[in-house]
Structure 1
């Protein structure tokens, strides 16, 4: 078989014991196996990988391109969630489409060179910002399709029932191509009604849902229960995700098991956002501050689909970030005190295969016929990728090389004899 490209001598994540070639033709994986015959020399690009690890790209399930890179416009003193929402809301009043596009591009390009090939971005819609963010991010989705596939989730950050005109704007965004709809019940005057209205929108447009949910440390009540109930009622299992859910970090093991079984039974997935949740939670604790990060690894054990994601970059919610999902996996492993190889492998899966499952990506992975989305990591196994923060060296998107990063060279001194 003739190939456009052959990646030689790599280790596929989960199959590290064997070294294989991957043949690419017309943007898709055409063959996987040892010593593939590329046919006559000269017509095929061949890349030697020297046994390095291959993944089908990192999958970013929760990021905010529209309000990234605004730390220089905000003054943060308390570091609380309330302050972050207020600062971002004030900054948003001055946003233009060009401004959103430029900041989003800066963040998106960071994600691309960190090996992200699929992304779900949340975009705020309300009467103050209108559809500026939606239009700007839609343009980014179009302009960067050569490197990353983007889903746009429109949502009301500052409430829905208390913010007249927002619901109509969400409808307009869905009519104009939004991929899914989100919610933020904890900022609403009537959280339960917001959840109901978001499900109504999802059913009307036959799209998935992704809520920001239960973002505090009081475990005495949760909107999670209502989301699970409505997911089952509307037959939306496998089509609903919830992000943050920091309340889960305050449950004991028995309570967490009950919540995990409820989530798994309803088919509701969970995205944990380590950097933001660690930064914002527990601010009022006089000592022994809680981490405030939902225990995704324990939820996995109860059958819940979980991912780890970036959330915000360089803004009041998270005043740092390089868009490395491998860094998020490493950070989570540190927070959750995970050190065994199989635990670190699970962390990698939560930014790759499990994240793809959360987003219902049917063409993700190393299967013949799937898009040739391939990222080369400078390591030889999944645990090392997380423990050593292995650098992404190269990526292809549908067979086309989207970035390369040369390996480090150590310049040793020349010893004289």
Structure 2
């Protein structure tokens, strides 16, 4: 007896429609035949079925505050200043209310796993971090949440933060976060992050080289440190915008080192387009990490949201498909050979970055699935399809029954 069956599922273009049998939260069978003994059946009607979207980089504790104190200049500097001024006003109740709204945006849009950076410092304490840890447990039936211990204000710049990093790990943080460019020296910051990660046997996720210019990079040091410590495949970086300013030979050299270190990259086009190149008065740069070049150089390339409606990103609705659609023209990913590489940037690639070993549409994998309102997997991004059904741990969690009628 199967708990749930999805029939007439299009897993790949050009293949016969499949029936997916789910039992005890996992995919138990994939067949071209029908399955009779089942508690509940969902008819995909030939629509595309994909594994759940993976949102690999977001800040739930800072979501939905854009109207409180707008970033008038649109610069990174003012975004940091505005947010620092607002943080003392955040209460646990306030953070919980906003983070829940943001989580539910992600859930209805088909995200089944999210990695969120939760920050703390001696001035604000663990207000946001503790709230996000609480929501991780509360929402476990709807979405898997990985929590990054994130020292937004730096570690050495904010005395007392080093001790808080250790405390956060003891409190249950899943990932050691860091921000080398906002601490001095960056190399010492990276050294400490690895020391903490090794002590607690946790992966690393850094806000890395977030700048319009490539004049203070620490990515090469990070690559060397990753290999030295045997941390290949366990380090992820977000932003990395400074790479766009490098000449080809220097860029190629760094990409080669990143591929050797197996460092994953979270490109954050919505934020970085908004904040980047604000001082350019003509021939304005895109200021987004070079997605195609990193991908072609063997780097595990991912796309993520970063922020929803705050000083860093004053828009967004939790729809990672829109982030992917934005990345297509920004990253020159619309070519015939490029377009098929985009969907993996919000599914299997971030799943790899987050260490999800039971992810995908295969027998034995966790049944985290989304039915899209399109019959073409090749067009799964550009159709911006409705998420018709979301299944988490083998259980129906979201069903979109909205009907559109065209009156001729």
Whole-Å Cα distance in 2 between the matches of residues 48 and 183 of structure 1? 45
Instruction: Identify the match of residue 301 of structure 1 among 280, 296, 302.
Output: 296
1:289 counterpart = 2:287: no
1:407 CA displacement = 4.8
* Contact map agreement 1:297 1:346 (CA 8 A) in 2: no
1:218 counterpart = 2:213: yes
When structure 1 is superposed on structure 2, of 291-300 and 352-361 the one drifting more is 291-300
Is there any run of 5+ residues in structure 2 with no aligned partner, and where?
none
Whole-Å Cα distance in 2 between the matches of residues 257 and 31 of structure 1? 44
Instruction: Identify the match of residue 26 of structure 1 among 4, 24, 27.
Output: 24
Whole-Å Cα distance in 2 between the matches of residues 166 and 337 of structure 1? 40
Change (3 A) 1:128 1:164: same
Whole-Å Cα distance in 1 between the matches of residues 116 and 169 of structure 2? 15
Instruction: Identify the match of residue 136 of structure 2 among 130, 135, 141.
Output: 141
What are the equivalent positions in structure 2 for 1:189-338 lying under 5 Å apart?
A: 189-338=184-333
Superposed CA offset, 1:85-105 (max 9, x none):
111111111111111111100
What are the equivalent positions in structure 2 for 1:333-344 lying under 5 Å apart?
A: 333-344=328-339
1:234 CA displacement = 0.9
Task: Tell me the SS of whatever aligns to 2:114.
Answer: strand
Superposed CA offset, 1:154-174 (max 9, x none):
111111101011111111110
Task: Tell me the SS of whatever aligns to 1:386.
Answer: coil
Instruction: Identify the match of residue 97 of structure 2 among 75, 97, 102.
Output: 102
* Contact map agreement 1:111 1:323 (CA 8 A) in 2: yes
Whole-Å Cα distance in 2 between the matches of residues 121 and 216 of structure 1? 22
Root-mean-square deviation (CA), in Å? 1.3
Superposed CA offset, 1:219-268 (max 9, x none):
23411011111111111110001110001112233332222111001121
* Contact map agreement 1:377 1:391 (CA 8 A) in 2: yes
Number of the residue aligned with 2:183: 188
Task: Tell me the SS of whatever aligns to 1:242.
Answer: strand
Whole-Å Cα distance in 2 between the matches of residues 60 and 403 of structure 1? 17
Superposed CA offset, 1:133-169 (max 9, x none):
1110011111111111000001111111010111111
1:189 CA displacement = 2.9
Change (3 A) 1:256 1:38: farther
* Contact map agreement 1:341 1:383 (CA 8 A) in 2: no
1:9 counterpart = 2:8: yes
1:116 counterpart = 2:111: yes
What are the equivalent positions in structure 2 for 1:17-56 lying under 5 Å apart?
A: 17-39=15-37, 43-56=38-51
* Contact map agreement 2:21 2:35 (CA 8 A) in 1: no
When structure 1 is superposed on structure 2, of 291-300 and 80-89 the one drifting more is 291-300
1:369 CA displacement = 1.6
Number of the residue aligned with 2:162: 167
User: If the length of structure 2 is used for normalisation, what is the TM-score?
Assistant: 0.97
When structure 1 is superposed on structure 2, of 16-25 and 223-232 the one drifting more is 16-25
* Contact map agreement 1:16 1:381 (CA 8 A) in 2: no
Task: Tell me the SS of whatever aligns to 2:57.
Answer: strand
Number of the residue aligned with 1:71: 66
* Contact map agreement 2:292 2:333 (CA 8 A) in 1: no
User: If the length of structure 1 is used for normalisation, what is the TM-score?
Assistant: 0.95
Whole-Å Cα distance in 2 between the matches of residues 251 and 405 of structure 1? 45
Superposed CA offset, 1:28-53 (max 9, x none):
111001123223xxx52111111111
Change (3 A) 1:293 1:382: farther
* Contact map agreement 1:272 1:307 (CA 8 A) in 2: yes
Whole-Å Cα distance in 2 between the matches of residues 344 and 25 of structure 1? 34
Task: Tell me the SS of whatever aligns to 1:60.
Answer: strand
1:389 CA displacement = 1.0
Task: Tell me the SS of whatever aligns to 1:146.
Answer: coil
* Contact map agreement 2:51 2:347 (CA 8 A) in 1: yes
